[in-house]
Structure 1
């Protein structure tokens, strides 16, 4: 098993600072965030993120991405792209960039739910069957282009989209070539929507289980009430060791499902300063992997998978 960091979660660092810090801490790789983003007065996860490569002009940035990643001795766990499956031009660009960098795989977003306001968008009002059918049609095209470029396009399990669960993602991709399309199983997102017991969900994905993201979340009781006077709960991101998800149990499920590849951390909690947070997360992941019987590359304290 290898560990990397998705740079959506390192907004205060420039790309050079990110590779320098993560390499020094002992991470195996990095997953670069690639998207055009809004400016912000202070660096944030989704706007003003210094460790994000703009999609505009991406082709000109590829030599710099390759150089600083290689010079730091880091590998790519993939690319964190945000191109949506219905934007064929942008999808083809990120697939081509993934191939040129040798990053192997890249996230290609599915369509949001018809009532979703994710990213500040207006709800489309379209039904789930309509959106699912459209996403499948687009992903058939995505699969063909991924094959053309010799890479893999990844569907992320994400709340507010047509693939919040492993079951929905398997249904979406079923029949497409798992050499060129796959699924990112995401512990934290599933705590918000789409939860299924990890081991059977991972087994259900079968050959489409391509990548794993780890973050954690918790539900908190707000001081609000619904119109009937009922309690209102809200989700928030939590440190890896402080959320609802048990990482050791999750890693045991990964081991039992035969997954022993990249695990990428995207910790959106802010309770601990960034450098301390990333270093602490790596230590925590190594302990969790050892307890789950997973061998960690380059880690003298790892144990063989049993």
Structure 2
């Protein structure tokens, strides 16, 4: 098993700072965020993120992405793409970029639910069956293009989309080649929508379990009540050690199904400063992995940076 960080969760760092900090802390790899984003006065996870590579001009950025990653001694756990499966031009570009970098796998987003405002877009109003069928049709095309480039396209389990659960993702990909399509199982997202007990969910995914994202969340009671007078609960991101999901129990389930690939952290909590947060997360992941009986690959010693 290897540990990496998705740069959506490192908005204060430039790409150079990101690779230097993560390498010095002893992480194995990095998962670069790739998308065109809005500007912001202050760096944020979703706007003004300094560690994001723009989709516009991505091909021209590939040599610099490769240089920074390699010189820091880091590997790619994949690319954190935002191209949606119905954007065939965008998907083709991120698949080609993944192949060119040797990053092996990249997230290709599925369609949002008909009542979703994800990404600031207006709700489509389409029914779930319509959206699911359309996503399947697009993903059949994605699978073919991923095979052409020799990489894997990843479906993320994400609230507000047609694949919030492992069950829905397995149904979406059933019959497609698991060498070229797979699923990102995400502990934190599932606490918001799509929760299924981890062990049977991982078993259900079988050969489609390709990647793991770890973050944590919790539900808190809001001050207001709804129109019927009932309590209102809202979700918020939490530190890995403070959310409702047990990372240790999750790792034990991963161990039971024999998962030994990448675990990528995307911690959107802000309780601690970024450097302290990432370093503390790595220490915690190592402890949890050891207790779960998982074998973690050797990594760079903290405080050192490889130039290989």
TM over 0.5: yes
Contact 2:84 2:109 in 1 (8 A): yes
Q: Offset of 1:119 from its aligned partner?
A: 1.8
Asked if 1:239 is matched to 2:251, the reply is: no
Q: How does 1:136-215 map to 2 (within 5 A)?
A: 136-215=136-215
| Corresponding residue of 2:83 | 83
Is the partner of 2:94 in helix, strand or coil? helix
| Corresponding residue of 1:270 | 270
Q: How does 1:62-141 map to 2 (within 5 A)?
A: 62-141=62-141
Q: How many residues align?
A: 300
Aligned structure 1 segments of 4 or more residues deviating by more than 3 angstroms: none
Deviations 1:278-304 (A, max 9, x none): 00000000000000000111169xxxx
Asked if 1:26 is matched to 2:26, the reply is: yes
| Corresponding residue of 1:303 | none
Is the partner of 2:218 in helix, strand or coil? strand
Aligned mates of 2:299, 2:230 — CA distance in 1:
49
Aligned mates of 2:246, 2:196 — CA distance in 1:
14
Q: Gapped runs of 5+ residues in structure 2?
A: 301-308
Larger RCO (alpha carbons 8 Å, 6+ apart):
2
| Corresponding residue of 2:44 | 44
Is the partner of 1:98 in helix, strand or coil? helix
Contact 2:167 2:204 in 1 (8 A): yes
Aligned mates of 1:156, 1:31 — CA distance in 2:
14
| Corresponding residue of 1:11 | 11
Deviations 1:69-118 (A, max 9, x none): 00000000000000000000000000000000000000000000000011
Q: Gapped runs of 5+ residues in structure 1?
A: 301-306
Aligned mates of 2:279, 2:260 — CA distance in 1:
21
Aligned mates of 2:120, 2:267 — CA distance in 1:
21
Change (3 A) 1:176 1:89: same
